Structure 1
Amino acid sequence: MNGVTERRTYSYLGPAGTFTEAALEQVPEARGQHWRPVHNVGEALTDVLDGTSDAAMIAIENSVEGGVSTTLDALATLPGLRIVGEYLVKVDFVLVARPGTRMDQVKVVAAHPVAYAQCHGWLGRELPAHAHVPAASNVASALGILDGSLHADAAIAAPGIVQHHDFEVLADGIGDNANAVTRFVLVTRTAVPAEPTGADKTSLIVELPDDHPGALLELLEQFSTRGINLSLLQSRPIGDELGRYRFVLDADGHIHDERMADALLGIRRFSPRVVYLGSYPRADRKIVHYPERYADEVFVEARDWLRGLVAGAPES
């Protein structure tokens, strides 16, 4: 052996200068490794499944727009994936153009649809007569005006784009919400969950058994009766017929927690299909607090008590 450690590969929505790249920069173990830019979430996850990449960084939720539907649907339909970490990136936008362009020359703006929606108010005030050309990503919108592939005068992009290409920055801070944040997750192939940290999150996708009054309540009770808080609950159409939905859930806690394990068993009995996406450290590292009656030892004692009854042991 030559002692050379093989570099790991990380897929991310490229090219350089995207918010996804900014999220990947937060992963210590990814530094100095091979970063593979891809065109969309599906390609990133396929890279992981076929072994092209060891992990993929993908956007899953935005504080303004909510869950990223393409990501949620891909995770629901591609088996063999695990979320191993989450990362938050502050969302800010700049309006860029070819060098020498003036603001009064901008008639058409290229932008990813999500970015466009988050800058709609500013555009309405500053460029009320503009037209919009959709782009595949924030970087693609900017590069498209440079290479002429997009017939636009300016583009909405992440601030990092100016570190890689020569642009005229016509305006910065053009987002309508100064507190906008996008949540990204690092995804690998199925693996054993990391040990709990006390500041963890568990992600699931759950389908209801049928459509009847109280069905969603029955699902939510699996968590509430065990003292588990949900930080995300979003419905997505299953797609096989109108009115059928799956639910994406983020629950505070780890699969190794007795209360979480008990809740998962309840959901498994209740739902015809449960996709466990992973238990991983929260991005904010905020310790999960819960009432003492939901502590691990309480669940263990109750289970031991029941086993004693079944075994005919005298009650103390």
Structure 2
Amino acid sequence: MAGTARPDEGQARRPRYAYLGPEGTFTQAALLQVTSADEADLEPCSDVVTALERVRSGDADFAVVPIENSVEGGVNVTLDTLSTGAPLVIVGEMLVPVTFTLCARPGMTLEKVRRISTHPHAWAQCRRWITEHLDGAVHVPATSTAAAAALLASGEPEPGFDAALCSELSARQYGLEVLAAGVADNPHAVTRFVLVARPGRLPEPTGADKTTLMVHLADNEAGALLNMLEQFATRGVNLSRIESRPIGDSLGRYSFSIDAEGHVAEERVQATLIGLHRVCPTVRFLGSYPRADGQRPHVRPGTYDADFRAAREWVGSLLSGYSRVEGD
């Protein structure tokens, strides 16, 4: 991926990537957009937290984890893990279209399915289909879509469920029988994944970038949310995502996870961060990186880099002139 940070320069070993496993997950499909087993060591992890903590500890150079789904919104465990603990930054993103296959061990039929295992986000994307075709079937949560398929294929006598909702790749990989293909309420569903690293050299700006932040509001202050949002609006920075997350120390205290259009190298984004730092008690920078869709933001007049530089030079000329007058 262009602009992506790499392990220490001059380091001979292969880069190490942790990802939400096991093999066959949609996360693995996102990972393969970035690298392959020929280029790097790929380590499936049992959950998102484990994958991210392996980067924090230095046991992996990168992690690939889901962060947002077009149907269900943000992946809370990813948002919360990135927002706490030792700093991590997003250095890239990948988009994966998501459709599901209902699969089972040989001999199981669609009519007999009563318990279905899958990741909660996958279940949410298939509720209507399940109600229409398997009314009364219950959800058995799994750490990933592939984890349920792997357990079915493991030979465990009582896995606790009859079928799994997973990718077509998982069904083939684990040798399971397909009971229904193309299972989804929304055929256009997409999941967004991020490539995460420890802080270091940022990806170069491309003109089509995102900056991700976590921001706390000032406590018990009327208009605190408006004050925070004005820092973006007055600098012409559009938000492509904003979600509230509980801080966790008491009821009623929330942080905001934000994706803003633009790169921290750009003047309008820098000015926004300065404004946020002035009015918000906590601002956590979580990376500037290329957008997967390549979409460039609409920059309104007065917020181009040249506009900010010209304004600073004008103020500088005023100060310079004032100093000369004072010195006369």
Number of positions where the alignment pairs a residue of Structure 1 with one of Structure 2: 313
In structure 1, the residue matched to 2:232 is 223
Alignment of 1:75-224 (within 5 A): 75-147=82-154, 148=156, 150-224=159-233
Preserved CA contact (<8 Å) 1:24 1:30: no
In structure 2, the residue matched to 1:45 is 52
Preserved CA contact (<8 Å) 2:240 2:259: yes
Q: Distance in 1 between matches of 2:221 and 2:311?
A: 32
Q: Distance in 1 between matches of 2:160 and 2:269?
A: 52
Q: 1:16 aligns with which of 7, 14, 23?
A: 23
Gaps of 5+ in 1: none
Preserved CA contact (<8 Å) 2:91 2:194: yes
Task: Give, as a single letter, the amino acid of the residue that structure 1 aligns with 2:125.
Answer: Q
Preserved CA contact (<8 Å) 1:82 1:277: yes
- 1:54 matched to 2:61: yes
Q: Distance in 2 between matches of 1:104 and 1:307?
A: 76
Change (3 A) 1:151 1:286: same
In structure 2, the residue matched to 1:74 is 81
- 1:283 matched to 2:283: no
Q: Distance in 1 between matches of 2:36 and 2:184?
A: 31
- 1:306 matched to 2:315: yes
TM-score (normalizing by structure 2):
0.91
Q: Distance in 2 between matches of 1:5 and 1:207?
A: 41
CA shift, 1:102, in A, is 1.5
Aligned with 1:110: secondary structure? strand
Task: Give, as a single letter, the amino acid of the residue that structure 2 aligns with 1:299.
Answer: F
Deviations 1:218-268 (A, max 9, x none): 101001001110000100000111100000110000101011101100101
Q: Distance in 1 between matches of 2:56 and 2:225?
A: 32
| Larger displacement relative to structure 2 (142-151 or 132-141) | 142-151
Task: State the identity as a percent.
Answer: 49
CA shift, 1:5, in A, is 3.6
Change (3 A) 1:180 1:136: same
Q: State the superposition RMSD in angstroms.
A: 1.8
In structure 1, the residue matched to 2:303 is 294
TM-score (normalizing by structure 1):
0.95
Task: Give, as a single letter, the amino acid of the residue that structure 2 aligns with 1:216.
Answer: L
Q: Distance in 1 between matches of 2:200 and 2:152?
A: 42
Preserved CA contact (<8 Å) 2:149 2:171: no
Gaps of 5+ in 2: 1-9
Aligned with 2:302: secondary structure? helix
Deviations 1:49-90 (A, max 9, x none): 111111000111111111111111101102221100011011
Preserved CA contact (<8 Å) 2:153 2:175: no
Q: Distance in 2 between matches of 1:304 and 1:7?
A: 47
Task: Give, as a single letter, the amino acid of the residue that structure 2 aligns with 1:109.
Answer: I
Q: Distance in 1 between matches of 2:62 and 2:129?
A: 36
4+ residue runs of structure 1 moved beyond 6 angstroms?
none
